Amino acid sequence: MKIQRELGVPPRPDVPPVYTRRAGWQAVRGDAAWAGRSIGFVPTMGALHAGHEALLARARAENERVVLSIFVNPTQFNDPTDLAKYPRTLEADLALARSYVDAVLAPEPEELYPDAYRYRVTENELSRRWEGAHRPGHFDGVLTVVLKLFNLVRPTRAYFGEKDWQQLLLVRGMVQALLLPIEVVPCATVREADGLAMSSRNRRLAPADRARAPEFARALRESPDAPTAAARLRAAGFEVDYVEDADGVRMGAVRLGDVRLIDNCRLPAAR
């Protein structure tokens, strides 16, 4: 694999074990073979692509053990239809991940939510802006499942893509607030050749929308300010949820048909 070669990661031909039950994984995690080892963790919802592969490759290069989670988290979806449409591609995901990981967690919802969704992690400031304003409760679901996975995996480092910029900030903030001994490692957004940020949602774009989609990144990057970027996107046929500048980053969320895309870029002074 190209990313593997670039980072000098040796091939791992063995198929990693997949754990669907907490008890089975916890027995392995408590084994002496894992004691004292540095552990890199990549939490995902599956439908893996080259962006996820970059996270896995970096985790492999920086740690003695690597754990991947594949879990479509129901508590971070506002729309049940969106949850139902989210692609489940476990066999393809395992084929992509096998060269990088020592274990895969792929639990059923009841394994991660034995409380029947009664308890959750809430952040009451940043989580209400931008994505949070358009997807109420979304980040409660994200932070809750990430904390549960952190408790199960007990990683040294956890790897998150910068495409989900607000999520990255919130996870990093949660780790600091709850005094978790975990390093949150940000990883650069991986893009298609035409500049579109890689996302599992891209495969749902209609052909005409896929052809239009790269304008999203261009508008964010080239516009002098956020309102101009939003106007440019609307003129190009996008439905704009928001475009905002904050702390040296321009963030946006748009819709093409029934597919919602997010992206961001560093502002010139911050590059």
Residues labelled catalytic: 52
Residue carrying structure tokens 């895969």? 104
Residue carrying structure tokens 């893509």? 161
Closest CA to 251 of 192, 185, 166: 166
Q: Are 39 and 93 in contact (CB under 8 A)?
A: no
Question: What DSSP designation does 191 have?
Answer: B
- Structure-token pair, residue 228: 């101009």
Closest CA to 107 of 153, 48, 173: 153
The torsion angle over the Cα atoms of residues 167, 26, 86 and 55, rounded to 10 degrees, is 50
Q: Are 239 and 253 in contact (CB under 8 A)?
A: no
Give the CB-side neighbour count of residue 187, counting CA atoms within 13 A.
23
- Structure-token pair, residue 243: 């475009």
Cβ neighbours of residue 16 under 8 Å, at least 6 residues apart? 68, 94, 97, 98, 101, 102, 103, 104
Give dist(CA 160, CA 152) in Å, integer. 17
